[in-house]
Amino acid sequence: MALQLGDIAPNFTAETTEGTVDFYEYLGDGWGVLFSHPKDFTPVCTTELGEVARLKGEFDKRNTKVLGLSVDPVSSHEGWSQDITDATGQKLNFPLIGDPDRKVSDLYGMIHPNANDTLTVRSVFVIGPDKKVKLTITYPASTGRNFAEILRVIDSLQLTSKYSVSTPVNWTDGEDVIIAPAISDDDAKERFPKGFTTVKPYLRYTPQPNR
Ligand code: BEZ
């Protein structure tokens, strides 16, 4: 059964471009993003890894560790990482798992036999400090991911884990948020001193509380 939201993200140890990694130790008590690639020396994956390297500072700001995976061995990743630098100008600055025996890929359900029975699809798992799965997204091999969207979701997850709010369509950090319908108007006045706007009794906007 595929991992679902709220499931515990299973721990593992794996060989990576930065040595042996114990997943839980690597995450510490922060957030994590585990994402898979179909294969080394492929064009879309090359652009994605360069982009994650470029955004590493943004993940750091969010106390979020990134960990990539491709089913090829680490020895292959080492050759590929030079190509990634040549092609994107970005040096790999986070570990990339080599998973030739598919231990981690199988554990996380990253192989989808109806898409391809040997290659991993483009899976993304966001994991919270409680080691629970907070987001899963699966893309086909032919579509590169939008890592700005992953950052946007992490912003929402981190905010909504602290306040009784949710974030509306296309929300980005700093924009108004929605007060949880379970909060009464009286309670909302206390919890959200910047005030709120009622569009419908169940749709009340308030400025982002931590700004
Ligand atoms: C790519 O990264 O470009 C790719 C990998 C596997 C299948 C198709 C595309």
Catalytic residue list contains 45 = yes
CA angle in degrees (0–180, nearest 5) for 181-182-184: 90
pLDDT band (50, 70, 90) for residue 117: confident
149 membership: H or E segment, kind and range: helix 147-160
What are the pLDDT digits (tens) for 140-176? 999 999 999 999 999 999 999 999 999 999 999 999 9
| Torsion sign, CA atoms 105, 106, 111, 117 | positive
Question: In testing the pocket of ligand 1, which one of 36, 42, 46 has its CB within 8 Å of the most ligand atoms?
Answer: 42
Residues 6+ apart with CB under 8 A from 35: 52, 66, 67, 68, 69, 122, 123, 124, 125, 145
Model confidence at 12, in pLDDT bands (50, 70, 90)?
A: very high
| pLDDT digits 0-9 by tens, 22-80 | 999 999 999 999 999 999 999 999 999 999 999 999 999 999 999 999 999 999 999 99
pLDDT at 1 over 90: no
User: What number does the ligand 1 atom closest to the CA of 116 have?
Assistant: 7
Nearest-angstrom CA–CA distance, 76 and 104: 17
109 — alpha (psi -120 to 50), left (phi > 0) or beta? left
Answer yes or no: is the C-beta of 116 below 6 A from any ligand 1 atom: no
Between helix 147-160 and helix 43-54 the angle, nearest 10°, is 50
pLDDT of residue 133: 98
How high does pLDDT run on average in the chain? 97
- pLDDT tens digits along 186-196: 999 999 999 99
